[in-house]
Amino acid sequence: MLPGNERQDVERGGKIIMPPSALEMLTRLSIEYPMIFKLTNRKTNRITHCGVLEFVADEGKVYLPHWMMANLVLEEGTVVQIESVSLPVATFSKFQPLSEDFLDITNPKAVLENCLRNFSCLTTGDVIAIKYNSKVYELCVLETKPGNAVIIIECDMNVEFAPPVGYKEEEHIPKNAGGNSGVSMDEDPAAIMPEPSGFVAFSGEGNRLDGKKKKLTSESESESQSSQARQSYVRGIPDYEWTVGTLRFIRNSRPPSAKEEIPTEPFEAFKGEGFTLRTAKSKN
Per-residue HEC secondary structure of 68-95 comes to HHHHHCCCCCCCCEEEEECCCECCEEEE
What residue ranges do the domains of the chain occupy? Answer: 8-84, 92-161
Sign of CA dihedral 205, 208, 213, 217: negative
Q: Collect all residues with Cβ–Cβ distance below 8 Å to 96 and sequence separation of at least 6.
A: 139, 140, 142, 161, 162, 163, 164, 165
CATH assignment of 92-161, among 3.40.50.1110, 3.10.330.10, 3.40.50.10210, 3.60.20.10: 3.10.330.10
For residue range 139-175, list pLDDT tens digits in order.
999 999 999 999 999 889 999 999 998 887 765 555 5
- In the prediction, which pLDDT does 190 show? 62
Among 77, 71, 64, 15, residue whose Cα is nearest residue 46? 71
Among 95, 98, 121, 113, residue whose Cα is nearest residue 38? 121
- In the prediction, which pLDDT does 240 show? 76
- In the prediction, which pLDDT does 20 show? 93
Among 52, 71, 73, residue whose Cα is nearest residue 62? 52
Predicted TM-score of the model (pTM): 0.56
How far apart are the C-alpha atoms of 31 and 154, rounded to whole Å?
A: 19
- In the prediction, which pLDDT does 1 show? 47
- Reported as type and span, the H/E element at residue 52 is strand 46-54
Residue stretches of the chain with pLDDT short of 70:
1-7, 170-198, 214-235, 250-264, 280-284
Q: Collect all residues with Cβ–Cβ distance below 8 Å to 5 and sequence separation of at least 6.
A: none
> Is the Cβ–Cβ distance between 48 and 123 less than 8 Å?
yes
- In the prediction, which pLDDT does 22 show? 92
Tell how strand 135-145 and strand 127-132 pair up: antiparallel
- What is the number of residues in the chain? 284
CATH assignment of 8-84, among 2.70.70.10, 3.40.640.10, 2.40.40.50, 1.10.540.10: 2.40.40.50
- Give Dmax over CA atoms of the chain in angstroms: 149
- In the prediction, which pLDDT does 229 show? 54
- In the prediction, which pLDDT does 183 show? 46
Among 17, 109, 96, 105, residue whose Cα is nearest residue 63? 17
